[in-house]
Amino acid sequence: MTDLSRTQGFAGQAMTVLEGRFYRPPLPEGHVPRARLCQRLQTGLGGRLLLVTAPAGFGKSSLAVEFCQGLPNHWSSLWLGLSRRDNDPGRFLERLLEGLQQYCPVLGNQALGLLKMRQRHQPFAFEEWLDGLLDELAFHLQPHNPLLLVLDDYHLAQGPVLDRCLQFFLNHLPPGLVLLVTSRLRPDWHLARLRLSRQLLELNEQDLRLTPDESLAVLGQQTTGLRGQALDNLIQRSDGWIAGLRFWQLAASESGADSALPQALHGGEGLIRDYLLEEVIDILPAEVQGFLNDTACQERFCSELCDALRESHDSAEIIAYLQAHQVFLVPLDEHGRWYRYHHLFSDLLRSRQPSLPLSSLHLRACRWFQGQGLLDEAVEQALRAGHLDVAANLVQNLSEEQLLAEQNVGMLLRWKMDLPDSLLISTPRLIVLYSWALGLAGQLDAAEELASHLSRFLPAPSATAQRSMLAQWLALSGVIARGRGDRERTRSYCVEALRSLPQKRYGQRLVCLSTVSNLAIADADFSRARSWNREALELAQRVGNPLFEALAHYDRARVLHARGEVLRALDEVRQGLQRLQGLSAQRLYAARARLTLYEGYLLVARLQPEAGRSRLRAGLVEARACRDISVLIGHCVIASQDGREGRFTEAFAELAEAERLMHIWDVPPIFYLAMITLIKCELWLAQGRTDLAESWLLRLGQTYGGKKAAAAPEFHPLLPLHIELQQALLERTQGRLEQAGQRLQALVERGQASGGQLLCVTALCQWIGLLLASNNEMQARDLLALSLEAGRGGALQAFQRLLQDHPQWLREQLLMQPASPTQASLLALLPALDTAQATGTSCETLSTREKAVLELIAQGCSNQEISDRLFISLHTVKTHASHINSKLGVERRTQAVARAKALGLLA
């Protein structure tokens, strides 16, 4: 690649003459390569224009420098760094022509003379001048040596006349010349035709944002004082803005204290504030600055909301101006309606004085959101305005159905912290709403205490209101009893509530149906659970609420999973997610979080760990934001998978994070402690720490076993059975093989009796591993057929230990089993035969007589029968059989037949 900015003569003496006007700057110290972006730019070299637009500090110029340095060898590049002096079109064109003369010295001498003779106050035919220059340039350009012309910081020179000149230049660009433009302001060019003909490649702010890995690379070694959430917070607040991270590095180096590092990234302080003021805000018109100050208090905004805040009608035009001038505006939807400011830019704006008191702005926003039917955001604005009575009245407008459908209890509990207790117990509506929120959040004592205040409003004004209030109390009491593991009260309260609730209280009815269905799973009464599920789905479909339909699909998936029907459960989950597709991606829904988590859980059960982990992580983000206890599923499944892959440190860290959340959310241990402890026992057994596993399994067994056993927790209704599975694994580890076998046999029988095929196939596979370890291959072979039948619903994870520990035995046995989807899936998961092994056991390896003996072995003939049929001695038969086993790398006749079939030696 020829660099016209750094040629020998030009970089030396010509540098002084031309004042470095064509000098391409070096990459800044500590530059992080943007290979993904350079590759995208590379694909645009076949067109005419590479356009890179983004706000200040996003690394536009550095990217252009890096791209130029990596150009193919047959390319030349010319760099024009622009300044505000270049906004005169004549001056700009002079510089352009002088630069092009570095590529072709004989180019445009007459044209340059015409430019120098012109007077600035007189009109000049720029397009006619460019037309002649382009004709001459086309003659000198060489297709085998193309030229990349870089216009850096075009926004500094941009103006109406220059835009027209460059539009003409672009429209008539000769072959062999490609333009790369970096700018904070989008050029006023008509680019539709270039897009249509694929002659344009654009990179914008969203493209230039640093990825998390690139952010870590920028931070380099200075993250030594940051870990976990602090580091994540730093990267998240930077919003991919490279300048923000660079300023953080400077502030961190000056502070010298690790404790100050996370607080250093703030847009309203220090270097970032100065930079944003100088480079962005101070150069904006006064009315635009006023708009920024008045709207900075909003987490998100649209033009209508901004009009309401400012009592004006020009917000749409100002937002369009901010977009065109790349002023740190982040779109929140594909329709271009909702936006937010970059986090650090927002920090600075909020430190400035708006035209009205903040309370007035928030109250205006409250009225606007209320008018739009966005009650949750209206409540947030009322609280920020300090109008607690307004917020309480708005909360009362939320229906129980909306609360129970969305189950975003985090929002309600956040409001609860701002509302005084006297307001919370002032009306039955507030008491019921907040009792439900506390119950769904697992704060059972607080929910029960608050619900007790309903007695102050009894007797109700009418018999109908009285029955409705009592029925709601029954439904809530049923949910609280389920949380505490009280079987009888759960069933009694929920069934009575279902009889008493008015039809319009379909939200409470659906929660009761979900609760009794979950209890039925814990009791292994799957037919009853399915019946409750069916009723719930029919009710949700009748009322047409997609969130309740999604929750019903989630409950059905859990029953199907417990029955071992993983594929059907996965389909059920995806139906639920499909039902939610029309909902806003900006709002948070516990139903979507649960379905996403469970999809990940089921994918792991299908032995698709990477896809499963991705869905689990996505579900965790939304579940945490909703404060939904279903995060336990995500953390426990990820921890279990980490343990299976030998990453024990990460596994225990995952469980610690789950416990931390439960403590922060004030969730009683009955919801989570047993779940987390059971996964720890699994990890301890894998590490060989049998003493810890034995101690805790004993405690778990005492709590969830026997006649007075507590009901399994809501998010792990099969917990007692999994405790039994871990106890069998412990007994095997301790050498108590007989006890382990008896326990597993009892679990298989229990699973077969109840229809719980997930338990059945898991216990069978564990039992097979136990038998193989005891050299009891015959019984193991018989059990494999049963396990394949039990696993026909797609529960492949039960076979994972067999796949890892006994791959050869499993392959041979599977090849002798009737074809089935489960058999095919397991064979596909087994490692392929080693190539050398396969070639070493080709047809030529076995002699003709050995192949004849093998065929009779495959037919089930005894050694004596083979001797009689082939007219050879019994000793010779045994010798041939020994040679066959040796050549095929097996030990037994059945293994030899299976291996021969796999290699195609037998039909």
**How do the residues of the chain divide into helix, strand and coil, expressed in percent and rounded to 5?**
70, 5, 25
| Chain-centre distance for alpha carbon 37 | 22
Calpha distance 534→774 (Å, rounded): 45
Structure tokens given for 467: 């029955």
Find out whether 94 and 115 touch, Cβ atoms under 8 Å. yes
Q: Give SS3 for 241.
A: coil
Listed residue (485, 482, 539) closest to 515, CA to CA: 482
Q: Which domains are assigned to the chain?
A: 35-208 (3.40.50.300), 545-627 (1.25.40), 848-903 (1.10.10.10)
Find out whether 147 and 174 touch, Cβ atoms under 8 Å. no
Find out whether 484 and 444 touch, Cβ atoms under 8 Å. yes
Q: Token pair 């004989």 is at which residue?
A: 106
Question: Per DSSP, what are the bridge partners of residue 183?
Answer: 53
Calpha distance 255→202 (Å, rounded): 39
Find out whether 606 and 791 touch, Cβ atoms under 8 Å. no
- For residue 459, say if its preceding peptide bond is cis, omega within 30 degrees of 0: yes
Calpha distance 888→903 (Å, rounded): 10
Give me Rg for the CA atoms of the chain.
Answer: 36
Q: Token pair 């020179």 is at which residue?
A: 157
Looking at residue 32, its pLDDT comes to 86
pTM above 0.85, yes or no: no
Largest CA distance in the chain: 117
Calpha distance 337→304 (Å, rounded): 9
Listed residue (246, 325, 236) closest to 279, CA to CA: 325
User: Helices (H) and strands (E) in the chain — how many of each?
Assistant: 50, 8
Looking at residue 123, its pLDDT comes to 60
Query: With 0-12 CB in 10 A as exposed, 13-18 as middle and 19+ as buried, what is 461?
Result: exposed
Structure tokens given for 652: 């225990």
Please report the beta strands in 158-280, taking only residues with DSSP state E, as ranges in sequence order: 177-183, 200-203
Structure tokens given for 308: 């309401």
Listed residue (771, 793, 795) closest to 783, CA to CA: 771
Query: What is the mean pLDDT, run by run of 10 residues, along the chain of 907 residues?
Result: 53 43 78 90 90 90 91 88 82 82 74 65 69 79 85 89 86 88 89 86 90 82 60 79 80 59 63 84 91 92 94 93 86 84 87 89 94 88 90 82 78 82 84 87 88 83 84 90 89 92 87 92 90 92 91 94 93 94 83 95 93 94 91 95 92 94 90 93 92 92 82 87 92 91 92 89 93 88 92 92 89 87 87 42 61 86 84 81 76 77 73
CA angle in degrees (0–180, nearest 5) for 245-248-249: 90
| Chain-centre distance for alpha carbon 752 | 38
Looking at residue 708, its pLDDT comes to 77
Looking at residue 270, its pLDDT comes to 77
Q: Give SS3 for 440.
A: helix
Listed residue (78, 71, 66) closest to 18, CA to CA: 78
Looking at residue 227, its pLDDT comes to 64
Q: Give the pairing type, strands 76-81 and 147-152.
A: parallel
